[in-house]
Chains A and B, each alone.
Chain A
Amino acid sequence: MSDLPLIQADHAVASPAPTSPSRGGRGRRLRLLSRTDRVVITLMVLVPLLLVVGLVWLPALATVALSGTDWDGIGPLSEIDWVGGRNYADVVGNYPPFVPAMQHNLLWLAALFVVATPLGMFLAVLLDKEIRGSRFYQTALYLPVVLSLALIGFVWQLIYSRDQGLLNAVLGGQTDWYGDPHVNIWAVLVAAGWRHVGYIMLLYLAGLKGVDPSLREAASVDGASETSTFFRVVFPVMRPINIIVLVVTVIESLRAFDLVWVINKGRNGLELISALVTQNVVGEASRIGFGSALATIMLAISLVFITIYLAVVMREGRR
């Protein structure tokens, strides 16, 4: 899960600012392509296109289509009954976990955006200073990202258990970290932040390594302090990676799932949209239609962020 943005990050930083080639030059080059080149290019476009359509767009459209049905996952497609918008009406008006799930997703986004992501960035800046033992800190902070989610759930269960957990044993308290719906979302956010910080740190560290050292040198020659060098020079230069970090944060909070699923399957104060989708779709007699309606709502929300991201990236490209 962490590979893709990392590669993009490296790429985004490594490549120098695009120097716009003259139009005539590009056109001429295209005409110079041999037949083999054209076949290769066509294949290179066509194969990923088919994969994207087959693996992303068709399932997405199928989800939207199924959200208007009451299919239970059994029997041929011909037996599916169309129920129109009833699933959506049920989701909004007749499904108690939905509203808390929306709130929790927003809270998740806010917590990652305001606390975890800046912390990750801060740690990256510190580690970029090549302090002694930075490799060790880097590994330690990145470790949670590498651990399997089952293991993470287990680790935090040992810490948070009310009767037998480490936290209550040390503090001598009786807090029901996982069971009290006013507390458990914060407990989980700590665990989620623990993971997210390491992830952002590594992304950002990769970006920082790619910043041209001469920029800092120039800034220090001009007499700028460390802080103002970072905020006035380094941070603006890292615009592409900042956007990626932002997008990663949004994605992570939208698809936040694994930890709450490990803890209590996303119930009792830990409702998240993704967990509700899974609760409804996975299982022995599934509410595929209802779950699809929830998934479609999630898709619609993601589209807002995707649109913003694409708009930013494309404006970047045009410049």
Chain B
Amino acid sequence: MSRPRTEAEYLARLVPSSVAGIGRRSLLTGVGAGALLGTGLLAGCGSDSGSGSGGDSKEVSVGSNQSDPQPKAVIAKVMDGFKAASGVAPKINTVDHNTYQENINNYLQGKPDDVFMWFAGYRMRFFAAKGLTGDISDVWGKLSGYSDAFRKASTGDDGKQYFVPSSYYPWAVFYRKSVWKQHGYQVPTTIDQFTALGAQMKKDGLTPIAFADKDGWPAMGTFDILNLRINGYQFHIDLMAGKEAWTSDKVKKVFDTWNGLLPLHQPDSLGRTWQEAAQSLQQKKSGMYLLGLFVAQQFGNDEQDDIDFFTFPEIDPAIGAKALDAPIDGYMLARKPKAEANARKLLEYVGSKEAADITVKNDPTTLVANSGADTSGYTALQKKAAELVGSATEIAQFLDRDTRPDFASTVIIPALQQFIKNPRDIDGLVNSIENQKKSIFTS
């Protein structure tokens, strides 16, 4: 998944890219595999049965950002499954998650692996539009078990598919069942019930909403959901694409509503990591927390059954509460893969029911994208999360995946932190964002 999960991982992102060596490592393997495959591919693509002396055509390289032990092991199992099914041995090049992300630019322009992991959304379309990734519409022709929402999330600006979804996780409001039972709280379905519940929690000595934004991104989730609830999915996506003005009354209303909710949020959020906020929920000091499904990592195994969630309540009845953030992770094809036939075969496999089944069996912290998968192994939390996303009418990918990454990191993060510090000056804030947006989106 996309977020630093541990202090170690957070620190690992600080290693300068030149030292961390994504370029070098993938370059070397890329060149090496290329040299091996260059001859083998031409000779060997005729028949599968030709178990030649070298077996050069039996390789394909995969760039993986799944550097945590558990997801890494899951990927290895999926790749073993591909090897068993096709006889092609995938070579996995795992790079630290954040290093991978920061280097993706150079990586894709250099010698990328044949298949590489990435995210859906604007982030995917951006690189597809720049011609840095391969068209895989033909692979999509062979895939089954994907809803239209996933297909749409895998499609570039030109209408072709560039992405195979593998897993996703929804954002929702999480809480502990035991705490709610003790106080007799009910799941709120409107914003008024939500604020009333928050006020009650305050009276009961709880912090109503755990909140952290030291790393800059968690507050994006709050902005996303408020904008989705107040202005709807299409406006949100257009705003992210730079087509709508941040100075519009619609955006101001989002900040206004947020301002009204801020007193319910945990104070001093700018010095707190999401892990620390999640621990306040785990320690029963906070009543609820709007975050991704990965919040469960901060809970012990014996507490997993005590976690529950609801989708953020409705604000405008005309808009409803059916849209949500559920970022999708998956695979893409390099611009000029060394072993193209094998790479397409691999993409077909990772999008298949078999690969999804392997993931379900081995990873209890994520949801698989393929609806054909056997999900009987899901925990109660996973089942409920899958239902929530299944019933969603529109799925956003999270702010920093739905807009230009440079805009998200250099403008939105400081702006949202500024808002949290000083929630009163909304006009000044949106003017500043709009001016910077114009400068960035025109370049």
Contact = CB atoms under 8 A, between A and B. Distances in A.
10 contacts: A75-B130, A163-B279, A163-B280, A176-B270, A176-B271, A179-B214, A267-B413, A279-B410, A283-B101, A285-B105
9 closest Cβ pairs, A-B complex: A179-B271, A179-B270, A176-B268, A70-B443, A178-B271, A176-B271, A285-B405, A150-B11, A268-B417
A216 interface: no
A262 B11 contact: yes
Q: For A70, A94, A96, A290, which residue has the most chain B Cβ atoms within 10 angstroms? A: A96
B364 interface: no
B268 A287 contact: no
Contacts of A282: 17, 102
Contacts of A90: 436, 439
Contacts of B101: 283-284
A229 interface: no
B195 to A, nearest CB: 24
B11 A181 contact: no
Interface of B: 7, 11, 14-15, 17, 101-102, 104-106, 109, 123, 126, 130, 132, 214-216, 267-272, 276, 279-280, 404-406, 409-410, 413-415, 417-418, 421, 432, 435-436, 439-440, 443
Nearest to B442: A70
A161 B7 CA distance: 13
B268 A180 contact: yes
A151 to B, nearest CB: 8
Contact of B214 (A75, A264, A289): A264
A149 B406 CA distance: 26
B16 to A, nearest CB: 8
Interface residues of A, number: 48
B414 A267 contact: yes
Contact of B436 (A86, A94, A265): A94
Given A90-B436, A181-B270, 5 more contacts: A73-B105, A150-B15, A264-B214, A283-B409, A285-B406
Interface of A: 70, 72-75, 81, 83, 86, 90, 94-97, 149-150, 153-154, 157, 160-164, 174, 176-181, 184, 258, 261-262, 264-265, 267-268, 279-280, 282-287, 289-290
Contacts of A178: 214, 270-271
Contacts of B405: 283-285
A264 B216 contact: yes
A164 B404 CA distance: 35
Nearest to B106: A73
Contacts of A95: 436
A279 B406 CA distance: 9
A178 to B, nearest CB: 4
Contacts of B17: 282
Given A96-B432, A97-B414, A179 B105 contact: no
B410 A177 contact: no
A279 B411 CA distance: 11
B102 A162 contact: no
A180 B272 CA distance: 11
Given A184-B271, A285-B105, A96 B414 contact: yes
Contacts of A163: 272, 276, 279-280
A176 B216 CA distance: 16
Contacts of A157: 7
